């Protein structure tokens, strides 16, 4: 059986990411003809009973076009202003186009904080599933108008992968301005070859990825490889294709050998551990000794105070910490049962000594194995 057929023949939930370079002309104005064709394909997919989330860039680009700016704004306030203007334009356009095919569109604006906070992460998940039940196509974007970090460091490749894992999608389609992943940069090497399938993301695959994207977008091929790591580790198939190609979404779903297909992990991470690994905001670090390293990595044990060498940063109990070796290598992340000042007092001690030092013992473990993700 063809590898794509194995994973895509029974797709029921798809996340489609459209980048700024696909959505806009080089002038910065929206490419309405292309967007209309993509909306038609997405609507047709929805008619087949497939649930859809559309992660759409383009708010800043739409704002640039509306303001008549010649270049992408350089400062954060200018980007935020363009995003605030452009997001309304973008949603109005989608609502109008989807309604022509009898579809209802909803909007969810997400920030990194929304997925870092466990309660808000689960609330977002519940909202998506409720919209699926009502037959709604949800349009997602970063809340660029107010979140500095999302504009400065964020990209919708990563966001779309996080959303795909959050909703447990079968497939993530990244629509880009390039045919897929090449073995070298096709812009500088005319002999570069398209990689059709990636079964595992190796260092060689990562070296094949370049840097920054276009003048209107923020994500280059490197961000797409990072997105592939997030998606495939959650058991989501991913494909990178050129959004300018006619009927490209239909081609992907109809199992045509287009773009670069990333094979999902056969044993995906549990949703909670995936959240810990990719979506969390790290508040501090716990440095562990060699004995703890072996217990965590080889035996999947909980982290006890006896295995902790030192504490870095200030954090409260219930927050996410990074677990590292004395060499600074991160081996995992977890939710701590004690705050940093408490761990500082009980590090290297046995569990039966905790109460004598602190005057109480709420837990034996600093980080329980059920609240930990080991890489």
**pLDDT tens, position by position, 177-208:** 889 998 877 778 888 889 999 998 888 888 77
Phi, psi of 113, rounded to the nearest 5 degrees: -65, -35
Q: Are 163 and 51 in contact (CB under 8 A)?
A: no
Looking at residue 24, the DSSP 8-state letter turns out to be: B
Q: What are residue 308's DSSP bridge partners?
A: 288
| Residue 330 parent element (H or E) | strand 330-335
Tokens of 357: 């030092």
pLDDT of res. 259:
95
- What the chain holds in terms of domains, given with CATH numbers, is 3-272 (3.40.1160.10), 282-374 (2.30.130.10)
- What residues form the annotated binding site? 17, 57, 144, 156, 176-177, 218-224
pLDDT of res. 355:
94
Helices and strands: H and E segment counts in the chain: 16, 13
User: What is the band of 151 on the pLDDT scale with cuts at 50, 70, 90?
Assistant: very low
Token pair 């609330």 is found at 123
Residue 150 has pLDDT above 50, yes or no: no
pLDDT of res. 214:
42
- CA–CA separation, 320 and 82 (whole Å): 34
pLDDT of res. 210:
60
| Residue 116 parent element (H or E) | helix 112-116
User: What is the band of 338 on the pLDDT scale with cuts at 50, 70, 90?
Assistant: very high
- What residues form the annotated binding site for ATP? 17, 176-177, 218-224
Average pLDDT over residues 289-304: 94
pLDDT of res. 142:
84
pLDDT of res. 106:
96
Write the pLDDT tens digit of every residue in 58-78: 888 888 878 888 777 888 888
Q: Would the pTM of this model clear 0.75, i.e. be above it?
A: yes
The separation between CA 236 and the C-alpha centre of its own chain, rounded to angstroms, equals: 11
Write the pLDDT tens digit of every residue in 198-256: 998 888 888 777 644 443 344 478 889 999 999 999 999 999 999 999 999 999 999 99
Write the pLDDT tens digit of every residue in 4-16: 999 999 999 999 9
Average pLDDT over residues 20-35: 83
Residue 347 has pLDDT above 60, yes or no: yes
pLDDT of res. 219:
45
- What residues form the annotated binding site for substrate? 57, 144, 156
Q: Select from 203, 209, 201 the least CA-distant residue to 183.
A: 209
Tokens of 141: 């974007």
Around Cβ 203, how many Cβ atoms within 10 Å?
Answer: 7
User: What is the band of 1 on the pLDDT scale with cuts at 50, 70, 90?
Assistant: low
Q: Are 94 and 105 in contact (CB under 8 A)?
A: yes
Which residues are within 8 A (CB) of 49 and not within 5 positions of it... i.e. 6 or more apart?
12
Residue 287 has pLDDT above 50, yes or no: yes
- Using CB atoms within 10 Å of the CB of residue 303, give its burial: 0 to 12 exposed, 13 to 18 middle, 19+ buried: buried
Q: Are 225 and 181 in contact (CB under 8 A)?
A: yes
pLDDT of res. 76:
81
Q: Are 319 and 311 in contact (CB under 8 A)?
A: no
Q: Give me the chain's average pLDDT, please.
A: 88
Residue 299 has pLDDT above 70, yes or no: yes
Q: Are 106 and 138 in contact (CB under 8 A)?
A: yes
pLDDT of res. 148:
61
Write the pLDDT tens digit of every residue in 356-372: 999 999 999 999 998 89
Average pLDDT over residues 85-99: 93
Token pair 């897929």 is found at 180
């Amino acid at each position: 059986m063809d590898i794509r057929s194995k994973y895509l023949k029974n797709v029921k939930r798809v996340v489609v990411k459209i980048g700024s370079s696909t959505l806009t002309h080089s002038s910065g104005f929206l490419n309405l003809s292309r967007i209309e064709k993509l909306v038609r394909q997405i609507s047709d997919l929805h008619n087949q009973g497939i649930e859809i989330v559309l992660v759409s860039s383009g708010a800043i680009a739409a704002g640039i076009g509306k303001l008549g700016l010649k270049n992408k704004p350089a400062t954060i306030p200018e980007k935020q202003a363009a995003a605030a203007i452009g997001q309304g334009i973008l949603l109005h356009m989608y609502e109008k186009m989807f309604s022509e095919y009898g579809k209802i569109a909803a909007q969810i604006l997400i920030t990194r904080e929304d997925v870092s906070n466990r309660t808000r992460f689960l609330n977002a998940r519940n909202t998506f599933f409720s919209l699926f039940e009502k037959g709604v196509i949800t349009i997602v974007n970063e809340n660029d108008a107010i979140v500095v970090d999302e504009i400065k460091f964020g990209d919708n490749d990563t966001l779309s992968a996080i959303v795909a894992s959050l909703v447990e999608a079968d497939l993530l389609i990244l629509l880009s301005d390039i045919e897929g992943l090449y073995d070298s940069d096709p812009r500088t090497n005319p002999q570069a070859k398209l990689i059709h399938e990636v079964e595992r993301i190796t260092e060689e695959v990562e070296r094949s990825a370049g840097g920054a994207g276009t003048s209107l977008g923020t994500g280059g091929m490197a961000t797409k490889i990072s997105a592939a790591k997030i998606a495939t580790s959650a058991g989501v198939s991913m494909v990178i294709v050129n959004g300018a190609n006619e009927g490209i979404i239909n081609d992907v779903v109809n199992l045509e050998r287009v773009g670069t297909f990333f094979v999902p992990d056969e044993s995906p991470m549990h949703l909670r551990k995936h959240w810990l690994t990719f979506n969390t905001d790290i508040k501090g670090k716990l440095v562990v000794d060699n004995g703890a390293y072996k217990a965590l990595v080889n035996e999947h044990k909980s982290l006890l105070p006896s295995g902790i060498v030192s504490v870095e940063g200030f954090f409260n109990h219930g927050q996410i910490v990074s677990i590292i070796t004395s060499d600074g290598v991160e081996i995992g992340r977890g939710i701590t049962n004690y705050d940093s000042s408490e761990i500082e007092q009980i590090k290297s001690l046995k569990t039966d000594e905790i109460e004598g030092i602190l005057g109480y013992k709420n837990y034996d473990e600093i980080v329980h194995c059920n609240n930990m993700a080991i890489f």
